[in-house]
Structure 1
Amino acid sequence: MGLETYKAVHQGGEGEIIEKKSRFIATVVPVETEEEAVAFIDAMKKKYWNAAHNCSAFVIGKRQELQRCSDDGEPSGTAGRPMLDVLLGEGICNVVVVVTRYFGGTLLGTGGLVRAYQSAVKAGLEQSVIIEKKPGIKLGIRTDYNGLGKVQHILGERRIPITGSEYSDVVKLEAMVPADEKEKLKEDLTEATMGRAGLTEGDQVFFALVDGEVLVFDEQ
Protein backbone atom coordinates (compact mmCIF):
# COMPACT_ATOMS: atom_id res chain seq x y z
CA MET A 1 0.00 0.00 0.00
CA GLY A 2 1.34 3.42 -0.88
CA LEU A 3 1.81 5.68 2.11
CA GLU A 4 1.29 9.04 0.46
CA THR A 5 -1.46 11.42 1.47
CA TYR A 6 -3.60 12.32 -1.54
CA LYS A 7 -6.70 14.30 -2.46
CA ALA A 8 -9.81 12.65 -3.84
CA VAL A 9 -13.43 13.42 -4.60
CA HIS A 10 -15.71 12.14 -1.85
CA GLN A 11 -18.87 13.45 -3.44
CA GLY A 12 -19.14 14.72 -7.00
CA GLY A 13 -20.81 17.92 -8.04
CA GLU A 14 -21.96 20.04 -10.94
CA GLY A 15 -21.02 23.64 -11.70
CA GLU A 16 -22.01 25.96 -14.53
CA ILE A 17 -20.68 29.17 -16.03
CA ILE A 18 -21.90 31.37 -18.88
CA GLU A 19 -19.35 32.94 -21.22
CA LYS A 20 -20.64 35.15 -24.08
CA LYS A 21 -23.95 33.24 -24.02
CA SER A 22 -22.24 29.84 -24.24
CA ARG A 23 -23.17 27.51 -21.35
CA PHE A 24 -20.41 25.39 -19.83
CA ILE A 25 -21.67 22.66 -17.48
CA ALA A 26 -19.00 20.78 -15.52
CA THR A 27 -19.89 17.41 -13.98
CA VAL A 28 -17.36 15.91 -11.56
CA VAL A 29 -17.46 12.35 -10.16
CA PRO A 30 -15.03 10.04 -8.36
CA VAL A 31 -13.75 6.99 -10.28
CA GLU A 32 -11.31 4.17 -9.53
CA THR A 33 -10.50 2.87 -13.02
CA GLU A 34 -10.13 4.06 -16.59
CA GLU A 35 -13.15 1.91 -17.53
CA GLU A 36 -15.32 3.77 -15.02
CA ALA A 37 -14.10 7.12 -16.36
CA VAL A 38 -14.78 6.18 -19.98
CA ALA A 39 -18.24 4.85 -19.09
CA PHE A 40 -19.08 8.10 -17.32
CA ILE A 41 -17.88 10.20 -20.28
CA ASP A 42 -20.05 8.10 -22.61
CA ALA A 43 -23.03 8.54 -20.29
CA MET A 44 -22.59 12.33 -20.28
CA LYS A 45 -22.42 12.36 -24.09
CA LYS A 46 -25.74 10.51 -24.17
CA LYS A 47 -27.30 12.77 -21.54
CA TYR A 48 -26.16 15.93 -23.32
CA TRP A 49 -26.49 14.54 -26.84
CA ASN A 50 -27.64 17.89 -28.25
CA ALA A 51 -24.67 19.89 -26.88
CA ALA A 52 -21.95 21.28 -29.16
CA HIS A 53 -19.15 19.56 -27.19
CA ASN A 54 -18.62 17.21 -24.24
CA CYS A 55 -14.94 17.69 -23.38
CA SER A 56 -13.35 15.54 -20.70
CA ALA A 57 -10.35 14.91 -18.47
CA PHE A 58 -9.58 12.28 -15.88
CA VAL A 59 -6.81 11.32 -13.48
CA ILE A 60 -6.45 7.81 -12.03
CA GLY A 61 -4.04 6.59 -9.33
CA LYS A 62 -2.78 7.93 -6.00
CA ARG A 63 0.19 9.43 -7.81
CA GLN A 64 -1.89 10.62 -10.77
CA GLU A 65 -0.29 7.86 -12.88
CA LEU A 66 -2.98 7.74 -15.58
CA GLN A 67 -4.06 10.97 -17.25
CA ARG A 68 -6.34 11.39 -20.26
CA CYS A 69 -8.19 14.29 -21.86
CA SER A 70 -10.29 15.07 -24.92
CA ASP A 71 -11.14 18.30 -26.76
CA ASP A 72 -14.20 16.61 -28.35
CA GLY A 73 -14.11 18.79 -31.46
CA GLU A 74 -12.96 22.04 -29.88
CA PRO A 75 -9.71 23.49 -31.34
CA SER A 76 -6.76 21.34 -30.26
CA GLY A 77 -5.46 22.20 -26.78
CA THR A 78 -8.27 24.59 -25.84
CA ALA A 79 -10.40 22.28 -23.66
CA GLY A 80 -9.19 18.85 -22.54
CA ARG A 81 -5.62 19.78 -21.61
CA PRO A 82 -6.59 22.97 -19.74
CA MET A 83 -9.22 20.94 -17.85
CA LEU A 84 -6.63 18.29 -16.98
CA ASP A 85 -4.23 21.00 -15.82
CA VAL A 86 -6.80 22.16 -13.24
CA LEU A 87 -7.15 18.63 -11.81
CA LEU A 88 -3.37 18.18 -11.69
CA GLY A 89 -2.87 21.63 -10.21
CA GLU A 90 -5.35 20.84 -7.42
CA GLY A 91 -3.56 17.53 -6.80
CA ILE A 92 -6.78 15.52 -7.07
CA CYS A 93 -6.66 11.80 -7.90
CA ASN A 94 -9.28 9.30 -9.06
CA VAL A 95 -11.56 11.87 -10.66
CA VAL A 96 -13.23 12.50 -14.01
CA VAL A 97 -14.80 15.72 -15.21
CA VAL A 98 -16.90 16.36 -18.31
CA VAL A 99 -17.55 19.93 -19.41
CA THR A 100 -20.59 20.20 -21.67
CA ARG A 101 -20.80 23.26 -23.92
CA TYR A 102 -23.92 24.69 -25.45
CA PHE A 103 -22.75 27.19 -28.06
CA GLY A 104 -24.10 30.70 -27.61
CA GLY A 105 -23.33 32.04 -31.08
CA THR A 106 -20.18 34.01 -30.27
CA LEU A 107 -16.68 32.62 -30.87
CA LEU A 108 -14.49 32.86 -27.78
CA GLY A 109 -11.08 32.51 -29.40
CA THR A 110 -8.32 30.22 -28.18
CA GLY A 111 -7.58 32.08 -24.94
CA GLY A 112 -11.27 32.52 -24.18
CA LEU A 113 -11.94 28.81 -24.59
CA VAL A 114 -9.05 27.85 -22.32
CA ARG A 115 -10.26 30.22 -19.60
CA ALA A 116 -13.88 29.10 -19.94
CA TYR A 117 -13.13 25.38 -19.70
CA GLN A 118 -10.80 25.89 -16.74
CA SER A 119 -13.33 28.11 -14.96
CA ALA A 120 -16.03 25.50 -15.52
CA VAL A 121 -13.90 22.75 -13.98
CA LYS A 122 -13.19 24.96 -10.95
CA ALA A 123 -16.92 25.63 -10.61
CA GLY A 124 -17.58 21.88 -10.68
CA LEU A 125 -14.92 21.21 -8.03
CA GLU A 126 -16.37 23.95 -5.81
CA GLN A 127 -19.69 22.05 -5.83
CA SER A 128 -17.94 18.76 -4.98
CA VAL A 129 -16.67 17.46 -1.64
CA ILE A 130 -12.88 17.11 -1.90
CA ILE A 131 -11.15 15.18 0.87
CA GLU A 132 -7.59 14.47 1.87
CA LYS A 133 -6.96 10.77 2.38
CA LYS A 134 -4.16 10.07 4.85
CA PRO A 135 -2.50 6.77 5.78
CA GLY A 136 -3.34 5.97 9.37
CA ILE A 137 -3.34 3.33 12.09
CA LYS A 138 -6.21 2.37 14.36
CA LEU A 139 -4.63 2.57 17.80
CA GLY A 140 -6.30 0.84 20.73
CA ILE A 141 -5.58 2.52 24.08
CA ARG A 142 -6.36 0.81 27.38
CA THR A 143 -6.01 2.95 30.49
CA ASP A 144 -7.22 3.25 34.06
CA TYR A 145 -9.33 6.23 35.07
CA ASN A 146 -6.31 7.99 36.58
CA GLY A 147 -4.60 8.05 33.18
CA LEU A 148 -7.71 8.94 31.15
CA GLY A 149 -7.35 12.71 31.47
CA LYS A 150 -3.73 12.62 30.35
CA VAL A 151 -4.58 10.41 27.36
CA GLN A 152 -7.47 12.66 26.33
CA HIS A 153 -5.29 15.75 26.70
CA ILE A 154 -2.55 14.35 24.45
CA LEU A 155 -5.04 13.21 21.80
CA GLY A 156 -6.85 16.55 21.90
CA GLU A 157 -3.62 18.54 21.69
CA ARG A 158 -2.62 16.64 18.55
CA ARG A 159 -6.17 16.73 17.14
CA ILE A 160 -6.25 12.96 16.88
CA PRO A 161 -9.87 11.79 16.64
CA ILE A 162 -11.26 9.19 19.03
CA THR A 163 -13.34 6.74 17.00
CA GLY A 164 -14.54 4.43 19.75
CA SER A 165 -14.76 4.19 23.54
CA GLU A 166 -15.75 1.63 26.15
CA TYR A 167 -15.98 2.40 29.86
CA SER A 168 -15.95 -0.44 32.42
CA ASP A 169 -13.45 -1.13 35.19
CA VAL A 170 -10.91 0.27 32.73
CA VAL A 171 -11.29 2.60 29.74
CA LYS A 172 -10.70 1.40 26.19
CA LEU A 173 -10.36 4.00 23.46
CA GLU A 174 -9.77 3.66 19.75
CA ALA A 175 -8.04 6.51 17.97
CA MET A 176 -7.25 7.14 14.31
CA VAL A 177 -3.59 8.12 14.19
CA PRO A 178 -1.77 9.46 11.12
CA ALA A 179 0.91 6.91 10.27
CA ASP A 180 3.73 9.42 10.50
CA GLU A 181 2.71 10.44 14.05
CA LYS A 182 2.28 6.93 15.45
CA GLU A 183 5.68 6.34 17.08
CA LYS A 184 5.87 9.76 18.76
CA LEU A 185 2.32 9.44 20.05
CA LYS A 186 3.00 6.01 21.53
CA GLU A 187 6.08 7.36 23.30
CA ASP A 188 4.16 10.32 24.71
CA LEU A 189 1.23 8.19 25.89
CA THR A 190 3.57 5.70 27.55
CA GLU A 191 5.49 8.48 29.29
CA ALA A 192 2.38 10.38 30.42
CA THR A 193 0.81 7.28 31.98
CA MET A 194 4.14 5.99 33.36
CA GLY A 195 3.85 2.90 31.19
CA ARG A 196 0.40 1.91 32.44
CA ALA A 197 -1.47 2.53 29.19
CA GLY A 198 -1.81 -0.53 26.98
CA LEU A 199 -1.37 0.26 23.29
CA THR A 200 -2.52 -2.02 20.47
CA GLU A 201 -1.96 -1.28 16.79
CA GLY A 202 -4.71 -2.19 14.36
CA ASP A 203 -4.73 -2.33 10.59
CA GLN A 204 -3.26 0.39 8.43
CA VAL A 205 -5.95 2.19 6.47
CA PHE A 206 -6.56 5.46 4.67
CA PHE A 207 -8.80 7.92 6.48
CA ALA A 208 -10.24 11.39 6.00
CA LEU A 209 -12.09 13.89 8.14
CA VAL A 210 -15.37 15.18 6.71
CA ASP A 211 -17.36 17.64 8.84
CA GLY A 212 -15.63 16.29 11.94
CA GLU A 213 -16.48 12.68 11.11
CA VAL A 214 -13.77 10.10 10.50
CA LEU A 215 -14.20 8.15 7.27
CA VAL A 216 -12.10 5.00 6.86
CA PHE A 217 -11.10 3.56 3.49
CA ASP A 218 -9.68 0.04 3.31
CA GLU A 219 -7.44 0.47 0.26
CA GLN A 220 -4.72 -1.81 -1.06
Structure 2
Amino acid sequence: MEAKDQYKTVEHPATGIFRDKGSKFIAYIYPISAETEIKPILLQLKAEHPKARHHCWAYRLGMNTSNYRLNDDGEPSGTAGRPILNSLLSTELTNVFVVVVRYFGGTLLGVPGLINAYKSATIDAIENSNIIEKTENLVYSVRCDYLQLNQVMRIIKESSLVVKSQTFDLECSFLLEVRKALAQELLGKLDQVDQIKIEQL
Protein backbone atom coordinates (compact mmCIF):
# COMPACT_ATOMS: atom_id res chain seq x y z
CA MET A 1 0.00 0.00 0.00
CA GLU A 2 1.36 3.42 -0.92
CA ALA A 3 2.18 5.65 2.02
CA LYS A 4 -0.09 8.66 2.45
CA ASP A 5 2.49 11.34 1.73
CA GLN A 6 0.32 13.99 0.09
CA TYR A 7 -1.08 16.89 2.06
CA LYS A 8 -3.00 20.10 1.45
CA THR A 9 -1.65 23.51 2.41
CA VAL A 10 -1.98 27.12 1.28
CA GLU A 11 0.29 28.54 -1.40
CA HIS A 12 0.43 32.15 -0.13
CA PRO A 13 -0.72 34.13 2.91
CA ALA A 14 -4.39 35.21 2.78
CA THR A 15 -6.88 37.03 5.00
CA GLY A 16 -10.50 36.66 6.02
CA ILE A 17 -12.88 38.80 8.05
CA PHE A 18 -15.97 38.35 10.21
CA ARG A 19 -18.01 40.99 12.04
CA ASP A 20 -20.50 40.52 14.87
CA LYS A 21 -22.11 43.15 17.18
CA GLY A 22 -19.37 45.69 16.49
CA SER A 23 -16.49 43.25 17.05
CA LYS A 24 -14.20 42.68 14.10
CA PHE A 25 -12.28 39.42 13.60
CA ILE A 26 -9.49 39.48 11.00
CA ALA A 27 -7.97 36.08 10.17
CA TYR A 28 -4.50 35.73 8.66
CA ILE A 29 -3.40 32.38 7.25
CA TYR A 30 0.24 31.59 6.41
CA PRO A 31 2.03 28.60 4.89
CA ILE A 32 4.77 27.44 7.31
CA SER A 33 7.21 24.54 7.47
CA ALA A 34 8.58 24.90 11.03
CA GLU A 35 7.50 26.09 14.48
CA THR A 36 10.27 28.72 14.45
CA GLU A 37 8.29 30.74 11.86
CA ILE A 38 5.44 31.38 14.35
CA LYS A 39 6.95 34.02 16.63
CA PRO A 40 8.11 36.52 13.96
CA ILE A 41 4.67 36.43 12.27
CA LEU A 42 2.91 36.96 15.62
CA LEU A 43 5.19 39.89 16.55
CA GLN A 44 4.61 41.48 13.15
CA LEU A 45 0.81 41.22 13.49
CA LYS A 46 0.90 42.62 17.03
CA ALA A 47 2.90 45.58 15.71
CA GLU A 48 0.37 46.09 12.88
CA HIS A 49 -2.64 45.82 15.23
CA PRO A 50 -1.53 47.39 18.54
CA LYS A 51 -5.12 48.34 19.50
CA ALA A 52 -6.56 44.84 18.97
CA ARG A 53 -7.85 43.14 22.14
CA HIS A 54 -6.78 39.58 21.24
CA HIS A 55 -4.40 37.78 18.87
CA CYS A 56 -5.62 34.17 18.98
CA TRP A 57 -3.96 31.48 16.91
CA ALA A 58 -3.48 27.84 15.97
CA TYR A 59 -1.11 25.95 13.73
CA ARG A 60 -0.70 22.45 12.31
CA LEU A 61 2.52 20.89 11.05
CA GLY A 62 3.16 17.66 9.19
CA MET A 63 0.89 14.72 8.47
CA ASN A 64 0.29 13.79 12.12
CA THR A 65 -2.99 15.29 13.37
CA SER A 66 -1.53 15.62 16.87
CA ASN A 67 1.26 18.02 15.80
CA TYR A 68 -0.48 21.32 16.58
CA ARG A 69 -0.63 24.15 19.10
CA LEU A 70 -3.27 26.74 19.87
CA ASN A 71 -3.66 29.86 21.99
CA ASP A 72 -6.83 31.63 23.19
CA ASP A 73 -4.86 34.81 24.15
CA GLY A 74 -7.21 35.80 26.97
CA GLU A 75 -10.50 34.70 25.40
CA PRO A 76 -12.53 32.13 27.41
CA SER A 77 -10.86 28.71 27.16
CA GLY A 78 -11.81 26.78 24.03
CA THR A 79 -13.56 29.69 22.28
CA ALA A 80 -10.76 30.86 19.96
CA GLY A 81 -7.74 28.61 19.33
CA ARG A 82 -9.84 25.42 19.22
CA PRO A 83 -12.34 26.66 16.56
CA ILE A 84 -9.40 27.95 14.48
CA LEU A 85 -7.70 24.54 14.71
CA ASN A 86 -10.95 22.67 14.01
CA SER A 87 -11.36 24.68 10.81
CA LEU A 88 -7.91 23.51 9.70
CA LEU A 89 -8.70 19.90 10.58
CA SER A 90 -12.08 19.92 8.82
CA THR A 91 -10.48 21.28 5.61
CA GLU A 92 -7.51 18.88 6.03
CA LEU A 93 -4.96 21.70 5.83
CA THR A 94 -1.53 21.34 7.41
CA ASN A 95 1.75 23.28 7.49
CA VAL A 96 -0.36 26.37 8.15
CA PHE A 97 -0.51 29.03 10.85
CA VAL A 98 -3.66 31.08 11.45
CA VAL A 99 -3.89 34.19 13.63
CA VAL A 100 -7.25 35.86 14.25
CA VAL A 101 -6.95 39.47 15.42
CA ARG A 102 -10.00 40.70 17.37
CA TYR A 103 -11.10 44.26 17.80
CA PHE A 104 -13.68 44.35 20.61
CA GLY A 105 -16.90 46.18 19.73
CA GLY A 106 -18.21 46.68 23.27
CA THR A 107 -20.80 43.89 23.29
CA LEU A 108 -20.00 40.48 24.75
CA LEU A 109 -20.68 37.68 22.25
CA GLY A 110 -20.85 34.79 24.72
CA VAL A 111 -19.20 31.41 24.21
CA PRO A 112 -21.26 30.24 21.16
CA GLY A 113 -20.83 33.67 19.54
CA LEU A 114 -17.05 33.62 20.03
CA ILE A 115 -16.68 30.07 18.71
CA ASN A 116 -18.71 31.01 15.63
CA ALA A 117 -16.74 34.24 15.08
CA TYR A 118 -13.29 32.64 15.24
CA LYS A 119 -14.42 29.74 13.07
CA SER A 120 -16.10 32.01 10.49
CA ALA A 121 -13.10 34.35 10.18
CA THR A 122 -10.77 31.34 9.72
CA ILE A 123 -13.04 29.72 7.11
CA ASP A 124 -13.17 33.04 5.22
CA ALA A 125 -9.34 33.18 5.14
CA ILE A 126 -9.20 29.55 3.95
CA GLU A 127 -11.74 30.29 1.21
CA ASN A 128 -9.61 33.25 0.09
CA SER A 129 -6.50 31.03 -0.09
CA ASN A 130 -5.07 29.13 -3.00
CA ILE A 131 -5.02 25.55 -1.68
CA ILE A 132 -2.31 23.31 -3.15
CA GLU A 133 -1.27 19.69 -2.72
CA LYS A 134 2.29 18.92 -1.72
CA THR A 135 4.13 15.71 -0.96
CA GLU A 136 5.99 14.87 2.21
CA ASN A 137 9.60 14.41 1.14
CA LEU A 138 12.72 12.91 2.70
CA VAL A 139 16.29 14.10 2.09
CA TYR A 140 19.23 11.73 1.80
CA SER A 141 22.95 12.38 1.66
CA VAL A 142 24.50 9.95 -0.82
CA ARG A 143 28.28 9.51 -1.27
CA CYS A 144 30.02 7.22 -3.72
CA ASP A 145 33.39 6.71 -5.41
CA TYR A 146 33.91 8.35 -8.78
CA LEU A 147 33.86 4.87 -10.38
CA GLN A 148 30.24 4.40 -9.26
CA LEU A 149 29.09 7.81 -10.44
CA ASN A 150 27.42 6.63 -13.66
CA GLN A 151 25.35 4.05 -11.78
CA VAL A 152 24.19 6.63 -9.24
CA MET A 153 23.41 9.22 -11.94
CA ARG A 154 21.31 6.65 -13.79
CA ILE A 155 19.27 5.90 -10.64
CA ILE A 156 18.75 9.63 -10.04
CA LYS A 157 17.49 10.07 -13.62
CA GLU A 158 15.22 6.99 -13.54
CA SER A 159 13.73 8.00 -10.20
CA SER A 160 13.09 11.66 -11.18
CA LEU A 161 14.74 12.88 -7.98
CA VAL A 162 15.29 16.46 -6.91
CA VAL A 163 19.06 17.01 -6.62
CA LYS A 164 19.52 19.72 -3.97
CA SER A 165 23.31 19.76 -4.32
CA GLN A 166 26.09 17.69 -5.87
CA THR A 167 29.90 17.64 -5.90
CA PHE A 168 32.13 15.57 -8.16
CA ASP A 169 35.57 14.63 -6.92
CA LEU A 170 37.36 11.40 -6.03
CA GLU A 171 34.36 10.95 -3.80
CA CYS A 172 31.08 12.26 -5.23
CA SER A 173 28.29 13.47 -3.00
CA PHE A 174 24.64 14.32 -3.53
CA LEU A 175 21.77 15.68 -1.49
CA LEU A 176 18.67 13.99 -2.88
CA GLU A 177 15.02 14.73 -2.13
CA VAL A 178 12.49 11.95 -2.65
CA ARG A 179 8.78 11.49 -1.97
CA LYS A 180 8.29 9.56 1.25
CA ALA A 181 6.15 6.97 -0.58
CA LEU A 182 9.00 6.22 -3.00
CA ALA A 183 11.88 6.27 -0.50
CA GLN A 184 12.09 2.50 0.10
CA GLU A 185 12.18 1.78 -3.63
CA LEU A 186 15.00 4.32 -4.08
CA LEU A 187 17.03 2.91 -1.18
CA GLY A 188 16.67 -0.58 -2.67
CA LYS A 189 18.21 0.63 -5.95
CA LEU A 190 21.02 2.57 -4.27
CA ASP A 191 21.92 -0.35 -2.00
CA GLN A 192 22.93 -2.32 -5.08
CA VAL A 193 25.76 0.14 -5.84
CA ASP A 194 29.17 -0.84 -4.38
CA GLN A 195 30.96 1.44 -1.93
CA ILE A 196 27.95 3.74 -1.44
CA LYS A 197 27.16 5.62 1.76
CA ILE A 198 23.57 6.71 2.36
CA GLU A 199 22.32 8.77 5.27
CA GLN A 200 18.87 10.22 5.92
CA LEU A 201 19.03 13.84 7.04
TM superposition score normalised by structure 1: 0.60
- Of 157, 160, 163, which aligns to 1:202? 160
Number of corresponding residues: 144
Task: Extract unaligned runs of 5+ from structure 1.
Answer: 137-198, 207-219
Conserved 8 A contact 1:63-1:93 = no
Conserved 8 A contact 2:7-2:136 = no
Look up the SS of the partner of 1:98 in the other structure.
strand
Alignment of 1:45 with 2:46, yes or no, is yes
Look up the SS of the partner of 1:86 in the other structure.
helix
Provide the identity percentage: 42
Report deviation, 1:76.
1.0
Look up the SS of the partner of 1:92 in the other structure.
coil
2:23 partner amino acid? S
Report deviation, 1:55.
0.5
Deviation per CA, 1:106-162: give whole Å up to 9, x if none.
Answer: 1100000000000000011111111122479xxxxxxxxxxxxxxxxxxxxxxxxxx
Alignment of 1:109 with 2:110, yes or no, is yes
Conserved 8 A contact 2:12-2:129 = yes
TM superposition score normalised by structure 2: 0.66
User: For the residues of structure 2 that align with 1:26 and 1:51, how far apart are their CA atoms?
Assistant: 12
Look up the SS of the partner of 1:29 in the other structure.
strand
- 1:146 aligns with none
User: For the residues of structure 1 that align with 2:37 and 2:19, how far apart are their CA atoms?
Assistant: 29
- 2:33 aligns with 32
Q: 1:201 to 1:27 in 2, by over 3 A?
A: same
Cα RMSD of the aligned pairs, angstroms, is: 2.2
User: For the residues of structure 2 that align with 1:80 and 1:117, how far apart are their CA atoms?
Assistant: 8
Structure 1 or 2: more strand by fraction = 1
User: For the residues of structure 1 that align with 2:65 and 2:40, how far apart are their CA atoms?
Assistant: 19
Conserved 8 A contact 1:12-1:127 = no
Report deviation, 1:18.
0.8
1:30 partner amino acid? P
Task: Extract unaligned runs of 5+ from structure 2.
Answer: 138-156, 162-177, 181-200
Report deviation, 1:20.
1.1
Report deviation, 1:200.
4.1
User: For the residues of structure 2 that align with 1:75 and 1:36, how far apart are their CA atoms?
Assistant: 26
Report deviation, 1:3.
4.8
Structure 1 residue runs of 4 or more that deviate by more than 6 Å after TM superposition: none
Conserved 8 A contact 1:10-1:130 = yes
Report deviation, 1:21.
1.2
